[in-house]
Amino acid sequence: MQRSTAAGGNVPALGGAELLAMVGDLGTRHEIRVEDWERLPGVHRGPREIWAMRERVRAMLTESNPPAGIVVTHGTDTLEETAYLLARTLDPEVPIVVTGSMRTSSDPAWDGPKNLRDAVAVAGDPGARHRGTMVVFGGRIYDGLDTTKLDAFADDAFGSPHRPPVGRVDAGVPQFAGPADARLPLRVQQLGSRVAIVPLILGDDGAMVDAALGRFDGLVIQGFGRGNVPPGALPAIRRWLDAGKPVVLASRCPFGEVGGEYAFEGGGGQLLRLGVVPAGPRPVSLARLELALCLSAGVPYGNAPA
């Protein structure tokens, strides 16, 4: 991004070569191959666009001489969805690193150069092999399966609410907290299923849940705390289950998971007994993407190892 006087704010402006020219020395001995895939704000990417990017990355991984690592620069608004998609569906042998910046190249405190140098260092590090897709931001290395944007404007906007970072970059040197986890990618040929997120509110009567039933293949409901919901929403949730469509239960809290200890009307335990599926260690945005992937692959939610 750069600030445009004509537009009245920040707009996409830099191609890959221009970005590298502004950043300068990346501090790596690896040969850098630049590919301009697109120049879109993160919120302009939909399922078709992120799947096309995933397919391009997959093609790179299957070349006769694949790269030692891949870095994807990305708008921060939807960075977590792209990172999750790559982490969940691609072979983890070659490291893929997704990064971005919270400041624009017009700002004196632009954080893009450091994040890009750190990302390149991680992608080229032997210790990154078999770790799959990671997010590198603010000097920390996060698992692509558990990264979300927690702050709208801070330089260290990203975090991993359900597990600690997998490492950090100290003075340009990646340091990993432990060995790579063994994981198998989810085998999926397309991202075609449509999944809605409906956040429930005080006194909710299920009107929005009902409105989504005819238009979507699956539903993520965002409940309170451990997954409790207003009892007025229960009939609408039951209609989804009666229609044979999956419903996933997530929490509006950024940390922790839904659980089954509350048995009152609308309690998380009652929902789980009805057949609603807990989101597990995923924020609501990634629970939605996980359900879309599983529906597209024809497997139950969270079925493949992750």
Residues of the chain with pLDDT > 70, as a percent, come to: 99
Residues of the chain with pLDDT > 90, as a percent, come to: 89
Measure the CA angle with vertex 213, ends 221 and 88; round to 5°: 55
pLDDT at position 70: 98
Question: Does residue 183 surpass a pLDDT of 80?
Answer: yes
Work out the average pLDDT over 261-274.
97
- Distance, in Å, from the CA atom of 209 to the CA atom of 260, rounded to the nearest integer, reads 21
Q: Which residues contact 102 (CB under 8 A, 6 or more apart)?
A: 76, 111, 153, 154, 155, 157
Measure the CA angle with vertex 279, ends 54 and 302; round to 5°: 55
Q: What's the topology of domain 2-176? A: Rossmann fold (3.40.50)
Work out the average pLDDT over 80-101.
97
CB 48, CB 55: distance < 8 Å: no
Question: Does residue 27 surpass a pLDDT of 50?
Answer: yes
- Locate the domains of the chain by residue range: 2-176, 195-297
Question: Does residue 136 surpass a pLDDT of 60?
Answer: yes
Q: Which residue has the higher pLDDT, 287 or 19?
A: 287
pLDDT at position 14: 87
Q: Which residues contact 46 (CB under 8 A, 6 or more apart)?
A: none
Q: Count Cβ atoms below 10 Å from residue 92 Cβ, excluding itself.
A: 20
What burial class does residue 8 get, using C-beta atoms within 10 Å of its C-beta: 0-12 exposed, 13-18 middle, 19+ buried? exposed
Work out the average pLDDT over 282-286.
96
Which residue in the block uniquely carries the two structure tokens 């939909």? 46
pLDDT at position 113: 94
Q: Where does the pLDDT of residue 29 fall: very low under 50, low under 70, confident under 90, or very high at 90 and above? A: confident
CB 111, CB 105: distance < 8 Å: no
pLDDT at position 122: 98
pLDDT at position 305: 46
Question: Does residue 88 surpass a pLDDT of 60?
Answer: yes
What burial class does residue 80 get, using C-beta atoms within 10 Å of its C-beta: 0-12 exposed, 13-18 middle, 19+ buried? buried
Nearest to 3 by CA among 74, 105, 73, 101: 105
Question: Does residue 278 surpass a pLDDT of 90?
Answer: yes
Which neighbouring-strand residues pair with 247? 219
**Count of residues in the chain:** 306
Nearest to 166 by CA among 157, 179, 156: 179
CATH of the domain spanning 195-297, picked from 3.30.830.10, 3.40.50.40, 3.40.50.300, 3.40.50.150: 3.40.50.40
pLDDT at position 280: 96
Nearest to 19 by CA among 4, 37, 5: 37
What burial class does residue 131 get, using C-beta atoms within 10 Å of its C-beta: 0-12 exposed, 13-18 middle, 19+ buried? buried
Q: Where does the pLDDT of residue 303 fall: very low under 50, low under 70, confident under 90, or very high at 90 and above? A: confident
Question: Does residue 306 surpass a pLDDT of 50?
Answer: no
Q: Which residue has the higher pLDDT, 182 or 98?
A: 98
Which neighbouring-strand residues pair with 99? 73
Q: Count Cβ atoms below 10 Å from residue 119 Cβ, excluding itself.
A: 29
pLDDT digit string, tens, across residues 198-225: 999 999 999 999 999 999 999 999 999 9
pLDDT digit string, tens, across residues 54-84: 999 999 999 999 999 999 999 999 999 999 9
pLDDT digit string, tens, across residues 109-134: 999 999 999 999 999 999 999 999 99
Round the average pLDDT of the chain to a whole number and report it. 95
